[in-house]
Structure 1
Amino acid sequence: MKIAITGATGQLGNLVIDALLARGANAADLVAIGRSEQKLEPLAGKGLETRVADYNAQPTLVSALEGIDKLLLISASEVGQRVAQHENVINAAKHVDVSLIAYTSIANALSGGMKLAEEHIATERLLAGSGIDYVLLRNGWYIENYTDQLMGYLNSGTVLGAAGDGKISAAARADYADAAAAVLLSEENQNGRIYELGSDKPFTLAQLAGAVGAAAGQDIAYQEMDPEQLEKIYADAGVPGPFAHILVDTDVRIREGALEVNSGELAKLIGRTPASLGKVIKDNLNK
């Protein structure tokens, strides 16, 4: 059985491959798909077959998916272009008779109301209409979305946000990767399964600030912002306007519970408690 991973050279893709190998997958049965042959070389060094393809070029995807049984479609990174790109992958998979597509969607996609979810919802609908068996991995927020900003928090002494007391069931990227590996290697019928994935211990942005401060040994405060003011701060910092709007919209929806997950499915899939917020923060500070 051949398992392919798109976006294999990205952060999540690399971790999924590591998780598949750790779970006993044969490297020769794994196919890493990416845009850059150079970036794929380290994965070839692990014994994987590598194939070059581009989400924007369907013919390359058809070639890359030839002979594949299961496909992990990692959502594209270019917000605003994802639907067309994902449709190219799905059509290519249909052309070569891929038997199952697992797609990395977003938590509470249909009910959360987030602008960030719109392209995921459209992709879920494309999968439902494709005739291919599919499974949805609705990943919650990554803790790394916050730990990537640690230096900013430490230098300013504040975490800015517009999320109020909304709870965020964020988990480490590696745990979501492990969950994807578990689903791909499962011998159970996964067709139609929807996994709502997130940590069992949600936190507020005020609790995030407290955890960063505790790990770093300094005072970090959460500062609640007016959404329009926060969007301006992001824009002034160089965040492209449309993406700044999406980030602030996500915070506003967090207030309403958009990124709180209570399913327990992440822990069940990976067979252990997901890494805690404090541990991920400490690991990042120690890098």
Structure 2
Amino acid sequence: MQILLTGATGHLGTHITNQAIKQNIENFSIGVRNINKVSDTWKQALEVRELDYFNQESMVTAFKNIDLVIFIPSIIHPSYNRLPEVENLVYAAKIANVNHIMFIGYYADQYNNPFHMSPYFGYAERLLASSGLNYTYVRMAMYMDPLVDYLPELAELGKLIYPVGDGKINYISRHDIAKGIIAILSNQNLLGQRYLLSGHTYSMTELASILSNVAGSKINYDPVSLDTFGKMYDEPKGFGPLLASMYKAASMGLLEQHSSDFEKLTGDQPETFEHFLQQNY
């Protein structure tokens, strides 16, 4: 089976590519927009193809002789700006006779989820379902990883300010998400399913306690309002309200989702937040 991973030089794509090389996944190649970002180590280990999510013909060319495309969406916003990329994915897959698409989605995709990117993920899954293509849909919980860089700011502030209230959030590391994806690639019988790669669920009070232990200084949970949070982190313009809408979803209990898919796929337990931060902070 010939495999192509898109978005390979992004944060999650890097984890997947490194694990694919380490696990000797056969016939694994990557598709990127800027080949200059690909390391010499990767170029020696696998095939690199150039593609642009917003250029159909580049995707058709990159998908030639590929059986399975693993698609990682871009991070552009607002959500309607992303729609052409998934439409181009389906178009190119059909023209190039791709047999299967693995789409990497996000768990904030319920019909009543206020997260500004939720419409995109809802549309993407329904487009795949109606496309006639074979597909695997992998939803992932919230990344742990950004807290590593954010922790010094929180330690200086002395408080965790996420506007979540009594809501809880399920977190997983990018490394564990990649591990789950590699497990699927290692057994073709696992394709064609809908998965949720989740880790551990925390209240914000519990998360503040973990952050305090790792930072070595007291961090209390003291949330600001959604509007205040959006204004504090509105760089680039529009990103603050986007983040705030995600935490509104958490306050509604929509980001507590958990499944045992990771354990079933890998045979391991997902990493805890405290251990992850201790290893990476």
TM-score scaled by length of structure 1 = 0.91
**Identical positions, percent:** 27
Match of 1:188, SS state, is helix
Name the CA shift for 1:145/1:165 in 2 (closer, same or farther; >3 Å): farther
- Does residue 165 (structure 1) correspond to residue 166 (structure 2)? The answer is yes
Gaps of 5+ in 1: none
Letter aligned with residue 254 of structure 1: A
Give the corresponding residue for 1:147: 148
Q: Following TM superposition, by how much is the alpha carbon of 1:112 offset from its aligned partner in structure 2, in angstroms?
A: 5.7
Q: 2 CA distance for matches of 1:230 and 1:83?
A: 27
- Does residue 15 (structure 1) correspond to residue 15 (structure 2)? The answer is yes
Give the corresponding residue for 2:128: 127
Give the corresponding residue for 2:226: 227
Name the CA shift for 1:208/1:189 in 2 (closer, same or farther; >3 Å): closer
Letter aligned with residue 248 of structure 2: V
Does structure 1 retain, via aligned residues, the 8 Å contact 2:137–2:194? yes
Greater Cα offset, 224-233 or 126-135: 224-233
Letter aligned with residue 241 of structure 2: H
Deviation digits for residues 32-51 of structure 1 (CA, Å, limit 9, x no counterpart): 10011111243544410001
Q: What is the RMSD of the two structures over their aligned residues, measured on CA atoms?
A: 1.6
Q: 2 CA distance for matches of 1:61 and 1:265?
A: 31
Give the corresponding residue for 1:2: 2
- Does residue 36 (structure 1) correspond to residue 34 (structure 2)? The answer is yes
Q: 2 CA distance for matches of 1:265 and 1:111?
A: 22
- Does residue 261 (structure 1) correspond to residue 262 (structure 2)? The answer is no
Q: Following TM superposition, by how much is the alpha carbon of 1:275 offset from its aligned partner in structure 2, in angstroms?
A: 1.0
Name the CA shift for 1:39/1:241 in 2 (closer, same or farther; >3 Å): closer
Match of 1:54, SS state, is coil
Q: 1 CA distance for matches of 2:39 and 2:120?
A: 31
Give the corresponding residue for 1:215: 214
Q: Following TM superposition, by how much is the alpha carbon of 1:145 offset from its aligned partner in structure 2, in angstroms?
A: 3.1
Name the CA shift for 1:279/1:42 in 2 (closer, same or farther; >3 Å): farther
Letter aligned with residue 273 of structure 2: L
Deviation digits for residues 40-92 of structure 1 (CA, Å, limit 9, x no counterpart): 24354441000111111111111111000111000111123221112112211
Greater Cα offset, 145-154 or 118-127: 145-154
Letter aligned with residue 19 of structure 1: Q
Match of 1:97, SS state, is coil
TM-score scaled by length of structure 2 = 0.93
Q: Following TM superposition, by how much is the alpha carbon of 1:189 offset from its aligned partner in structure 2, in angstroms?
A: 5.4
- Does residue 92 (structure 1) correspond to residue 92 (structure 2)? The answer is yes
Match of 1:56, SS state, is coil
Correspondent of 1:242 among 238, 244, 248:
238
Name the CA shift for 1:275/1:160 in 2 (closer, same or farther; >3 Å): same
Q: 2 CA distance for matches of 1:240 and 1:49?
A: 34
Give the corresponding residue for 1:271: 267
Q: Following TM superposition, by how much is the alpha carbon of 1:255 offset from its aligned partner in structure 2, in angstroms?
A: 1.6
Letter aligned with residue 223 of structure 2: E
Q: 2 CA distance for matches of 1:234 and 1:197?
A: 27
Name the CA shift for 1:46/1:255 in 2 (closer, same or farther; >3 Å): farther
Greater Cα offset, 132-141 or 33-42: 33-42
- Does residue 61 (structure 1) correspond to residue 59 (structure 2)? The answer is yes
Does structure 1 retain, via aligned residues, the 8 Å contact 2:148–2:277? yes
Q: 1 CA distance for matches of 2:258 and 2:112?
A: 14
Gaps of 5+ in 2: none
Question: Superposition pairs for residues 171-190 of structure 1, below 5 Å?
Answer: 171-188=172-189, 190=191
Q: Following TM superposition, by how much is the alpha carbon of 1:147 offset from its aligned partner in structure 2, in angstroms?
A: 2.4
Q: 2 CA distance for matches of 1:118 and 1:42?
A: 38
Does structure 2 retain, via aligned residues, the 8 Å contact 1:19–1:177? yes
Letter aligned with residue 13 of structure 2: G
| Number of residue equivalences | 278
Q: 2 CA distance for matches of 1:152 and 1:102?
A: 36
Greater Cα offset, 167-176 or 111-120: 111-120
